[in-house]
Amino acid sequence: MESYRVLTTSFWKIVRDESKTISALDSIVDERRKARDAEEYEAYIKNFNSLNTLKDITVFEDRYKNKDPDRLIEKIAPRKREFLLAIYREKFTVARSSDDLKRFIEEYQSDDPDGLTPRAKERLESVLRAEAVEQDLRNRELLEARKRKEINDIEMRIVGCNRQIASAYATIDREREIARVSGYENKMILRQAGEFIVECRAAIKRDYDLYKKSGGGKRLDDLK
């Protein structure tokens, strides 16, 4: 019986000791959780107090949308509207190209606090007219550049053919001079040079007709 009482006493002492240990561990965990919560709350307040840009506000909203104990997201809503309004007005002010104006109209036509989209549409019409005139001018300049290049290319072809004709005549004269000395005239060389001259003259005639139609102003005698 005495042994039973000793065993029972020891058992309950172990139980009490384990309970104290568990309680101590729970207390430590609880303290750590409170410390962590305090740190998170301190960071939450610090982040709120450092909101200086729309990006800061957007990041804050995303971070604390599910955990906002002081409902600070509601408090920053007016400041966010001010930032958005400033951006909206700035976009209208700097919108000068048709692409910028189209984006502004598309973005704000259903949420237009200052009623700027009608003015943006008027500006867009004016810009489109100006851009059309500018594009027409660029097209004309491009056309003129192509025309000048075409005329220059034809001039170069005619000049090249005239020089080749002169070279062919020089070949004929040289062959005849050789024939006078040797008594033998190479008809093949003369034939080839003659064919080259005839072909070049025909090419020059075609090119010069095209040259005049393209607006070329030089005389044929000047293209040598």
Q: pLDDT tens digits for 44-89?
A: 888 888 888 889 999 999 999 888 888 999 999 999 999 999 999 9
Whether 20 shows a pLDDT value over 80: the answer reads no
Q: pLDDT tens digits for 188-204?
A: 999 999 999 999 999 99
Give the CA distances from residue 154 to residues 196, 210, 215, 224, in Å, rounded to whole numbers and listed in that order: 19, 8, 11, 12
Whether 173 shows a pLDDT value over 70: the answer reads yes
Q: pLDDT tens digits for 113-167?
A: 999 999 999 999 999 999 999 999 999 999 999 999 999 999 999 999 999 999 9
Identify the H or E element spanning 165: helix 117-182
pTM of the model: 0.52
Spatial separation of the C-alpha atoms in residues 163 and 221, rounded to whole Å: 12
Write down the domain spans for the chain.
2-132, 148-222
pLDDT at 38: 84
- Percent pLDDT > 70 in the chain is 86
Provide CB contacts within 8 A for 185, sequence distance 6+. 175, 176, 178, 179
Confidence grade of residue 4 (pLDDT, cut at 50, 70, 90) = very low
The DSSP secondary-structure symbol of 214 reads T
pLDDT at 3: 53
Spatial separation of the C-alpha atoms in residues 204 and 210, rounded to whole Å: 10
Provide CB contacts within 8 A for 45, sequence distance 6+. 70
φ and ψ at residue 67, rounded to 5 degrees: -150, 85
Lowest mean pLDDT among 30-44, 103-117, 140-154: 30-44
Provide CB contacts within 8 A for 189, sequence distance 6+. 171, 172, 175
Can you point out the beta strands (E) in the chain? none
Confidence grade of residue 223 (pLDDT, cut at 50, 70, 90) = confident
Spatial separation of the C-alpha atoms in residues 200 and 160, rounded to whole Å: 9
Spatial separation of the C-alpha atoms in residues 61 and 8, rounded to whole Å: 60
